[in-house]
Amino acid sequence: MTRIIAGFAGSLRLKVPPVGTRPTSDRVREAIFSALDARGVLAGARVLDLYAGSGALGLESASRGAAHVTLVDRANAASRIGSQNAALVRRQAPKDAQVEIVVSSQPVQSFLNAAVDSWDVVFLDPPYDLREAELLHNLEALARHLNPDAVVVLERSARDPEPDWPEGLAAERRKDYGETAIYWLSAA
């Protein structure tokens, strides 16, 4: 079961696509959002959730005060579930909350190549078998769309070598949670 941890939609259960995704565990999401809350970056933020699956990371951000969330996943089933989950979160929002949630059903690279927006917080949770070259292309395209103090959270297998970082992104730290490695990046 995947759920929203805190904020106005706290404890809300989210649907998960039946196949093809690997939801971020509650333990890892709690650690990520604890760190983001400590930085104070979510209130009013523009958030991008790439390889979104159920949309749990982006929707958690919305629940905790992000103003705009974009979920991107090329799988039709994931986009459909993400849209359903976004509707559930919107229904939980207080009347005065100004949260916009957009779901995009297209490949991450295509989305980034065509994007005109910029973001404050970005989550990348690609399939663990995504080739390093494709991840690098994603990161290169993303770097052009980051606001100056942006935070990027990348999830990879703890067994994989550290990715190559493109110009425009700087690795701050890595934290392992069992089989999961979380990389914290900033706009450089």
Mean pLDDT by 10 residues, the chain (188 residues): 92 86 85 96 97 96 97 95 96 89 97 97 93 96 96 96 95 96 95
- Does residue 159 sit in helix, strand or coil? coil
Helices (H) and strands (E) in the chain, counts: 5, 9
Cα 16 to Cα 10: distance, rounded to the nearest angstrom: 17
Query: CB-based contacts of 119: which residues, under 8 Å, 6+ apart?
Result: 45, 46, 47, 48, 70, 145, 146, 147, 150
Question: Over the range 147-159, which residues count as b (16 or more CB within 10 Å of their CB) and which as e?
Answer: eeebbbbbbbeee
What is the value of pTM for the model shown?
A: 0.96
Q: Kindly report the number of other CB atoms within 10 A of residue 172's CB atom.
A: 11
Please report the pLDDT score of residue 67 as a whole number. 96
How would you class 98 by CB atoms within 10 Å of its CB: exposed for 0-12, middle for 13-18, buried for 19 or more? Answer: exposed
Q: Which pair of tokens denotes residue 156? A: 């990879």
Helix axes 56-63, 76-92, angle to 10 degrees: 10
Please report the pLDDT score of residue 20 as a whole number. 65
Q: E strands along the chain, which residues?
A: 2-3, 13-14, 46-50, 68-72, 100-104, 119-124, 146-157, 169-177, 180-187
